Amino acid sequence: MVKASFLPPNFVEDSFGHHISYLRVSITDRCNERCRYCMPEEEQKWFSREETLSYEEMLRIVRIGAGLGIRKIRVTGGEPLTRPGAADFCAELARIPGIEDIGISTNGTLLAKIEDGVTLAEKLVRAGVRTANISLDSLDPATYRLTTGRDLLPRVLEGIDAAITAGFESIKFNCVLMKNQTESEIPAIIEFARKKNALLRFIELMPVSTQEVLSSDNFLPVATAKALVEQTHGALTPLPEFKTNGPALYHLVPGTGQKIGFIGAMTNLHFCESCNKLRLTCDGKLRPCLGSFLEFDLLSVVRAGCSDDELAAFFRNVVARKPKEHDFRDNYQPNRKMIAIGG
Protein backbone atom coordinates (compact mmCIF):
# COMPACT_ATOMS: atom_id res chain seq x y z
CA MET A 1 0.00 0.00 0.00
CA VAL A 2 1.22 3.52 -0.82
CA LYS A 3 1.51 5.78 2.22
CA ALA A 4 -0.55 8.99 2.39
CA SER A 5 2.57 11.01 3.13
CA PHE A 6 3.53 10.60 -0.57
CA LEU A 7 0.27 12.21 -1.67
CA PRO A 8 -0.88 15.83 -1.72
CA PRO A 9 -2.81 16.76 1.45
CA ASN A 10 -6.08 16.97 -0.42
CA PHE A 11 -8.42 16.10 2.42
CA VAL A 12 -12.15 16.65 2.11
CA GLU A 13 -13.62 18.33 5.13
CA ASP A 14 -17.32 18.53 5.99
CA SER A 15 -19.09 21.68 7.20
CA PHE A 16 -18.23 20.76 10.79
CA GLY A 17 -14.47 20.42 10.31
CA HIS A 18 -14.25 16.63 10.14
CA HIS A 19 -11.66 15.18 7.80
CA ILE A 20 -13.44 12.52 5.80
CA SER A 21 -10.95 9.71 5.51
CA TYR A 22 -13.02 6.53 5.81
CA LEU A 23 -15.23 4.94 3.17
CA ARG A 24 -17.39 1.90 3.82
CA VAL A 25 -17.91 0.03 0.59
CA SER A 26 -20.85 -2.36 0.47
CA ILE A 27 -20.19 -4.87 -2.28
CA THR A 28 -23.51 -6.73 -2.09
CA ASP A 29 -26.96 -6.52 -0.53
CA ARG A 30 -27.19 -10.31 -0.40
CA CYS A 31 -26.60 -12.43 2.63
CA ASN A 32 -26.62 -16.05 3.73
CA GLU A 33 -28.16 -15.06 7.07
CA ARG A 34 -31.39 -13.26 7.98
CA CYS A 35 -30.67 -11.17 11.07
CA ARG A 36 -33.89 -9.87 12.57
CA TYR A 37 -32.57 -6.34 13.03
CA CYS A 38 -30.93 -6.01 9.63
CA MET A 39 -33.43 -7.25 7.08
CA PRO A 40 -37.17 -7.81 7.09
CA GLU A 41 -38.50 -11.35 7.18
CA GLU A 42 -40.53 -11.04 4.02
CA GLU A 43 -39.06 -12.09 0.68
CA GLN A 44 -36.13 -9.87 -0.30
CA LYS A 45 -35.90 -8.06 -3.58
CA TRP A 46 -32.19 -8.08 -4.28
CA PHE A 47 -30.51 -5.64 -6.63
CA SER A 48 -29.90 -7.17 -10.03
CA ARG A 49 -26.38 -7.49 -11.43
CA GLU A 50 -27.03 -4.42 -13.66
CA GLU A 51 -28.17 -2.39 -10.67
CA THR A 52 -25.02 -3.30 -8.75
CA LEU A 53 -21.69 -1.54 -9.19
CA SER A 54 -19.05 -3.72 -10.82
CA TYR A 55 -15.74 -4.12 -8.99
CA GLU A 56 -14.11 -1.94 -11.65
CA GLU A 57 -16.62 0.84 -11.01
CA MET A 58 -16.07 0.58 -7.26
CA LEU A 59 -12.29 0.70 -7.69
CA ARG A 60 -12.57 3.83 -9.80
CA ILE A 61 -14.74 5.49 -7.16
CA VAL A 62 -12.29 4.51 -4.40
CA ARG A 63 -9.40 5.87 -6.49
CA ILE A 64 -11.16 9.24 -6.73
CA GLY A 65 -11.92 9.14 -3.00
CA ALA A 66 -8.28 8.31 -2.20
CA GLY A 67 -7.22 11.37 -4.21
CA LEU A 68 -9.41 13.43 -1.88
CA GLY A 69 -8.13 11.95 1.35
CA ILE A 70 -9.88 8.62 1.85
CA ARG A 71 -7.35 6.42 3.65
CA LYS A 72 -9.37 3.61 5.15
CA ILE A 73 -11.79 1.26 3.43
CA ARG A 74 -14.09 -1.21 5.13
CA VAL A 75 -15.60 -3.76 2.81
CA THR A 76 -19.07 -4.73 3.94
CA GLY A 77 -22.54 -5.76 2.80
CA GLY A 78 -24.92 -7.69 3.10
CA GLU A 79 -22.43 -10.45 3.56
CA PRO A 80 -19.42 -9.36 1.49
CA LEU A 81 -17.97 -12.87 1.26
CA THR A 82 -21.03 -14.11 -0.64
CA ARG A 83 -19.93 -12.03 -3.64
CA PRO A 84 -17.46 -14.01 -5.76
CA GLY A 85 -14.06 -12.37 -6.07
CA ALA A 86 -14.30 -10.38 -2.81
CA ALA A 87 -10.69 -11.17 -1.78
CA ASP A 88 -9.31 -10.27 -5.22
CA PHE A 89 -11.26 -7.01 -5.04
CA CYS A 90 -9.55 -6.29 -1.69
CA ALA A 91 -6.16 -6.96 -3.28
CA GLU A 92 -6.98 -4.36 -5.95
CA LEU A 93 -8.08 -1.89 -3.27
CA ALA A 94 -4.74 -2.35 -1.53
CA ARG A 95 -2.94 -1.25 -4.72
CA ILE A 96 -4.71 2.12 -4.83
CA PRO A 97 -2.30 4.91 -3.86
CA GLY A 98 -3.41 6.48 -0.59
CA ILE A 99 -5.35 3.51 0.74
CA GLU A 100 -3.52 2.59 3.93
CA ASP A 101 -5.96 0.43 5.77
CA ILE A 102 -8.50 -2.14 4.61
CA GLY A 103 -10.91 -3.95 6.88
CA ILE A 104 -13.80 -6.31 6.33
CA SER A 105 -17.08 -6.72 8.18
CA THR A 106 -18.41 -10.23 7.97
CA ASN A 107 -20.76 -12.62 9.70
CA GLY A 108 -17.84 -15.08 9.74
CA THR A 109 -19.72 -17.96 8.12
CA LEU A 110 -17.47 -18.13 5.06
CA LEU A 111 -14.07 -17.28 6.53
CA ALA A 112 -13.08 -20.96 6.79
CA LYS A 113 -14.28 -21.77 3.29
CA ILE A 114 -11.49 -23.11 1.10
CA GLU A 115 -10.82 -21.23 -2.13
CA ASP A 116 -7.75 -21.88 -4.29
CA GLY A 117 -6.38 -24.20 -1.59
CA VAL A 118 -6.52 -21.69 1.28
CA THR A 119 -9.21 -20.35 3.59
CA LEU A 120 -10.98 -17.18 2.57
CA ALA A 121 -9.56 -15.63 5.74
CA GLU A 122 -6.05 -16.43 4.52
CA LYS A 123 -6.87 -15.02 1.08
CA LEU A 124 -8.08 -11.79 2.63
CA VAL A 125 -4.95 -11.40 4.74
CA ARG A 126 -2.75 -12.08 1.69
CA ALA A 127 -4.80 -9.46 -0.19
CA GLY A 128 -3.83 -6.88 2.43
CA VAL A 129 -6.94 -6.83 4.62
CA ARG A 130 -5.72 -5.89 8.09
CA THR A 131 -8.80 -6.11 10.26
CA ALA A 132 -11.82 -8.39 10.45
CA ASN A 133 -14.99 -7.36 12.29
CA ILE A 134 -17.02 -10.48 12.90
CA SER A 135 -20.65 -10.43 14.05
CA LEU A 136 -21.22 -12.56 17.11
CA ASP A 137 -24.51 -11.96 18.87
CA SER A 138 -24.75 -15.26 20.69
CA LEU A 139 -22.79 -18.38 21.56
CA ASP A 140 -25.95 -20.35 22.17
CA PRO A 141 -27.03 -22.24 19.01
CA ALA A 142 -30.77 -21.70 19.61
CA THR A 143 -30.40 -17.96 20.28
CA TYR A 144 -28.01 -17.65 17.36
CA ARG A 145 -30.64 -19.19 15.12
CA LEU A 146 -33.39 -16.97 16.50
CA THR A 147 -31.33 -13.85 15.78
CA THR A 148 -29.81 -14.74 12.43
CA GLY A 149 -32.47 -17.08 11.05
CA ARG A 150 -29.81 -19.68 10.31
CA ASP A 151 -28.09 -22.56 12.13
CA LEU A 152 -24.63 -21.38 11.22
CA LEU A 153 -22.98 -20.87 14.62
CA PRO A 154 -20.56 -23.83 14.13
CA ARG A 155 -19.42 -22.35 10.83
CA VAL A 156 -18.92 -18.96 12.44
CA LEU A 157 -16.76 -20.53 15.16
CA GLU A 158 -14.68 -22.27 12.48
CA GLY A 159 -14.47 -18.95 10.64
CA ILE A 160 -13.19 -17.19 13.75
CA ASP A 161 -10.46 -19.81 14.16
CA ALA A 162 -9.58 -19.47 10.48
CA ALA A 163 -9.31 -15.70 10.95
CA ILE A 164 -6.98 -16.16 13.93
CA THR A 165 -4.81 -18.63 12.01
CA ALA A 166 -4.72 -16.32 9.00
CA GLY A 167 -3.21 -13.59 11.18
CA PHE A 168 -5.37 -10.48 10.80
CA GLU A 169 -3.73 -7.59 12.66
CA SER A 170 -6.90 -7.17 14.63
CA ILE A 171 -10.13 -9.08 15.06
CA LYS A 172 -13.22 -7.54 16.61
CA PHE A 173 -16.47 -9.18 17.58
CA ASN A 174 -19.66 -7.16 17.15
CA CYS A 175 -22.55 -8.07 19.43
CA VAL A 176 -25.86 -6.30 18.84
CA LEU A 177 -27.68 -5.84 22.15
CA MET A 178 -31.17 -7.38 22.29
CA LYS A 179 -33.26 -7.02 25.44
CA ASN A 180 -34.19 -10.28 27.22
CA GLN A 181 -31.62 -12.09 25.11
CA THR A 182 -28.10 -10.67 25.36
CA GLU A 183 -28.12 -10.01 29.12
CA SER A 184 -27.57 -13.62 30.19
CA GLU A 185 -24.89 -14.19 27.54
CA ILE A 186 -22.70 -11.20 28.33
CA PRO A 187 -20.22 -13.06 30.62
CA ALA A 188 -19.77 -15.94 28.13
CA ILE A 189 -19.23 -13.60 25.18
CA ILE A 190 -16.67 -11.56 27.14
CA GLU A 191 -14.81 -14.73 28.13
CA PHE A 192 -14.88 -16.02 24.55
CA ALA A 193 -13.46 -12.72 23.21
CA ARG A 194 -10.73 -12.80 25.88
CA LYS A 195 -9.74 -16.35 24.96
CA LYS A 196 -9.63 -15.46 21.26
CA ASN A 197 -7.68 -12.26 22.00
CA ALA A 198 -10.28 -10.20 20.12
CA LEU A 199 -11.77 -6.80 20.86
CA LEU A 200 -15.45 -6.99 21.72
CA ARG A 201 -18.02 -4.30 21.03
CA PHE A 202 -21.58 -4.17 22.24
CA ILE A 203 -23.79 -2.29 19.76
CA GLU A 204 -27.13 -0.65 20.46
CA LEU A 205 -29.93 -1.60 18.14
CA MET A 206 -30.36 1.09 15.48
CA PRO A 207 -33.62 1.87 13.63
CA VAL A 208 -32.47 0.70 10.24
CA SER A 209 -34.77 -2.25 9.69
CA THR A 210 -38.33 -3.25 10.43
CA GLN A 211 -40.22 -1.33 13.11
CA GLU A 212 -41.45 -4.50 14.86
CA VAL A 213 -37.92 -5.54 15.77
CA LEU A 214 -36.67 -2.07 16.58
CA SER A 215 -39.15 -1.52 19.38
CA SER A 216 -38.51 -0.65 23.00
CA ASP A 217 -39.34 -4.31 23.82
CA ASN A 218 -36.05 -5.27 22.19
CA PHE A 219 -33.91 -2.23 22.95
CA LEU A 220 -31.10 -2.73 25.46
CA PRO A 221 -29.09 0.46 26.11
CA VAL A 222 -25.30 0.25 26.28
CA ALA A 223 -25.47 1.74 29.81
CA THR A 224 -27.45 -1.31 30.97
CA ALA A 225 -25.01 -3.66 29.27
CA LYS A 226 -22.10 -1.86 30.93
CA ALA A 227 -23.80 -2.10 34.34
CA LEU A 228 -24.29 -5.84 33.79
CA VAL A 229 -20.62 -6.28 32.88
CA GLU A 230 -19.65 -4.40 36.04
CA GLN A 231 -21.84 -6.68 38.18
CA THR A 232 -19.80 -9.69 37.14
CA HIS A 233 -16.39 -8.19 36.38
CA GLY A 234 -16.10 -5.13 38.65
CA ALA A 235 -15.85 -1.45 37.71
CA LEU A 236 -14.62 -0.84 34.16
CA THR A 237 -11.96 1.80 33.50
CA PRO A 238 -12.80 4.13 30.58
CA LEU A 239 -10.12 4.33 27.89
CA PRO A 240 -10.88 7.69 26.19
CA GLU A 241 -7.59 7.64 24.29
CA PHE A 242 -8.12 4.19 22.79
CA LYS A 243 -9.80 4.63 19.40
CA THR A 244 -10.21 2.22 16.49
CA ASN A 245 -11.53 4.58 13.81
CA GLY A 246 -15.13 4.33 14.98
CA PRO A 247 -17.56 5.59 17.60
CA ALA A 248 -16.98 2.80 20.16
CA LEU A 249 -16.11 3.92 23.68
CA TYR A 250 -13.65 1.39 25.06
CA HIS A 251 -13.22 0.28 28.65
CA LEU A 252 -10.72 -1.93 30.41
CA VAL A 253 -11.96 -4.99 32.30
CA PRO A 254 -10.22 -5.10 35.69
CA GLY A 255 -7.67 -7.83 36.16
CA THR A 256 -7.62 -9.17 32.60
CA GLY A 257 -6.43 -6.26 30.44
CA GLN A 258 -9.30 -7.01 28.08
CA LYS A 259 -10.86 -4.06 26.22
CA ILE A 260 -14.58 -3.82 25.61
CA GLY A 261 -16.26 -1.20 23.42
CA PHE A 262 -19.76 0.21 23.64
CA ILE A 263 -21.42 1.68 20.54
CA GLY A 264 -24.41 3.67 21.72
CA ALA A 265 -25.84 5.24 18.59
CA MET A 266 -29.16 5.95 20.32
CA THR A 267 -28.11 6.97 23.81
CA ASN A 268 -24.66 8.53 23.38
CA LEU A 269 -25.36 12.16 22.55
CA HIS A 270 -21.74 12.69 21.41
CA PHE A 271 -21.92 9.78 19.00
CA CYS A 272 -21.40 11.80 15.80
CA GLU A 273 -18.75 14.22 17.02
CA SER A 274 -15.78 12.53 15.44
CA CYS A 275 -17.47 10.95 12.41
CA ASN A 276 -15.07 10.65 9.47
CA LYS A 277 -17.14 8.30 7.25
CA LEU A 278 -18.97 8.06 3.98
CA ARG A 279 -20.79 4.99 2.70
CA LEU A 280 -20.98 3.62 -0.81
CA THR A 281 -23.90 1.25 -1.30
CA CYS A 282 -23.64 -1.65 -3.72
CA ASP A 283 -26.15 0.04 -6.03
CA GLY A 284 -23.89 3.03 -6.26
CA LYS A 285 -25.38 5.55 -3.84
CA LEU A 286 -23.00 7.67 -1.83
CA ARG A 287 -24.44 8.23 1.65
CA PRO A 288 -22.97 10.90 3.91
CA CYS A 289 -24.45 9.35 7.09
CA LEU A 290 -25.84 5.96 8.12
CA GLY A 291 -28.54 7.67 10.14
CA SER A 292 -29.86 10.03 7.48
CA PHE A 293 -32.12 9.36 4.51
CA LEU A 294 -29.77 11.37 2.28
CA GLU A 295 -28.12 9.48 -0.56
CA PHE A 296 -26.70 10.55 -3.92
CA ASP A 297 -26.74 8.55 -7.11
CA LEU A 298 -23.15 7.98 -8.12
CA LEU A 299 -23.90 4.93 -10.30
CA SER A 300 -25.81 7.01 -12.88
CA VAL A 301 -23.04 9.60 -12.92
CA VAL A 302 -20.34 6.96 -13.40
CA ARG A 303 -22.30 5.21 -16.13
CA ALA A 304 -23.04 8.50 -17.89
CA GLY A 305 -19.31 8.68 -18.59
CA CYS A 306 -18.31 11.46 -16.19
CA SER A 307 -14.68 12.56 -15.92
CA ASP A 308 -12.52 12.02 -12.83
CA ASP A 309 -12.82 15.74 -12.03
CA GLU A 310 -16.61 15.50 -12.17
CA LEU A 311 -16.52 12.49 -9.86
CA ALA A 312 -14.29 14.35 -7.41
CA ALA A 313 -16.72 17.29 -7.48
CA PHE A 314 -19.57 14.84 -6.75
CA PHE A 315 -17.66 13.52 -3.71
CA ARG A 316 -17.08 17.05 -2.42
CA ASN A 317 -20.76 17.91 -2.80
CA VAL A 318 -21.81 14.84 -0.84
CA VAL A 319 -19.32 15.67 1.91
CA ALA A 320 -20.68 19.22 2.01
CA ARG A 321 -24.16 17.76 2.64
CA LYS A 322 -22.99 15.57 5.53
CA PRO A 323 -25.33 16.30 8.44
CA LYS A 324 -24.03 17.35 11.84
CA GLU A 325 -25.50 14.24 13.40
CA HIS A 326 -27.72 11.28 12.67
CA ASP A 327 -31.51 11.27 12.85
CA PHE A 328 -31.88 7.96 14.69
CA ARG A 329 -33.74 9.56 17.55
CA ASP A 330 -36.18 11.58 15.41
CA ASN A 331 -38.48 9.26 13.49
CA TYR A 332 -35.66 8.22 11.24
CA GLN A 333 -36.78 6.96 7.81
CA PRO A 334 -33.72 5.40 6.21
CA ASN A 335 -35.62 4.52 3.00
CA ARG A 336 -33.72 1.25 2.89
CA LYS A 337 -32.81 -1.56 5.28
CA MET A 338 -29.40 -1.94 6.90
CA ILE A 339 -28.62 -4.88 4.64
CA ALA A 340 -28.92 -2.60 1.60
CA ILE A 341 -26.91 0.23 3.16
CA GLY A 342 -23.89 -1.61 4.49
CA GLY A 343 -23.15 -1.64 8.22
- Contacting residues toward ligand SAM, per CB under 6 A: 31, 37-38, 76-77, 79, 105-107, 135, 174, 176, 203, 205-206, 208-209, 338-339, 343
Query: Can you tell me the distance from the alpha carbon of 167 to that of 177, in angstroms, rounded to the nearest whole number?
Result: 28
Residue 276 · residue 21 · CB < 8 Å:
yes
28 is in the binding site of which of ligand SAM, ligand SF4, none (Cβ under 5 to 8 A by kind)? none
Q: What is the pairing mode between strands 72-76 and 101-106? A: parallel
Closer Cβ to ligand SAM, 152 or 298, answer by number: 152
- Residues pairing with 296 in the sheet: 286
Q: What is the pairing mode between strands 19-20 and 12-13? A: antiparallel
Query: Can you tell me the distance from the alpha carbon of 205 to that of 202, in angstroms, rounded to the nearest whole number?
Result: 10
Query: Can you tell me the distance from the alpha carbon of 292 to that of 168, in angstroms, rounded to the nearest whole number?
Result: 32
The sheet with strand 199-203 has its strands ordered as 237-238, 249-252, 259-263, 199-203, 170-176, 131-135, 101-106, 72-76, 22-26, 277-280, 285-287, 296-297
174 is in the binding site of which of ligand SF4, ligand SAM, none (Cβ under 5 to 8 A by kind)? ligand SAM
Residue 283 · residue 27 · CB < 8 Å:
no
Closer Cβ to ligand SF4, 21 or 148, answer by number: 148
Widest Cα–Cα separation across the chain: 59
Min CB(6)–ligand SF4 separation in Å? 35
Min CB(75)–ligand SAM separation in Å? 9
Using CB positions, name the residue nearest to ligand SAM.
343
Min CB(80)–ligand SAM separation in Å? 7
Min CB(150)–ligand SF4 separation in Å? 9
Closer Cβ to ligand SF4, 122 or 137, answer by number: 137
Residue numbers at the binding site for ligand SF4 (CB under 6 A): 31, 33-35, 38-39, 77-79, 107, 135, 148, 339
39 is in the binding site of which of ligand SF4, ligand SAM, none (Cβ under 5 to 8 A by kind)? ligand SF4
From residue 246, alpha-carbon distances to 23, 87, 139 in Å are 12, 23, 25
Query: Can you tell me the distance from the alpha carbon of 246 to that of 23, in angstroms, rounded to the nearest whole number?
Result: 12
Closer Cβ to ligand SAM, 10 or 215, answer by number: 215
Min CB(266)–ligand SF4 separation in Å? 17
Closer Cβ to ligand SF4, 26 or 258, answer by number: 26
193 is in the binding site of which of ligand SF4, ligand SAM, none (Cβ under 5 to 8 A by kind)? none
Closer Cβ to ligand SAM, 52 or 209, answer by number: 209
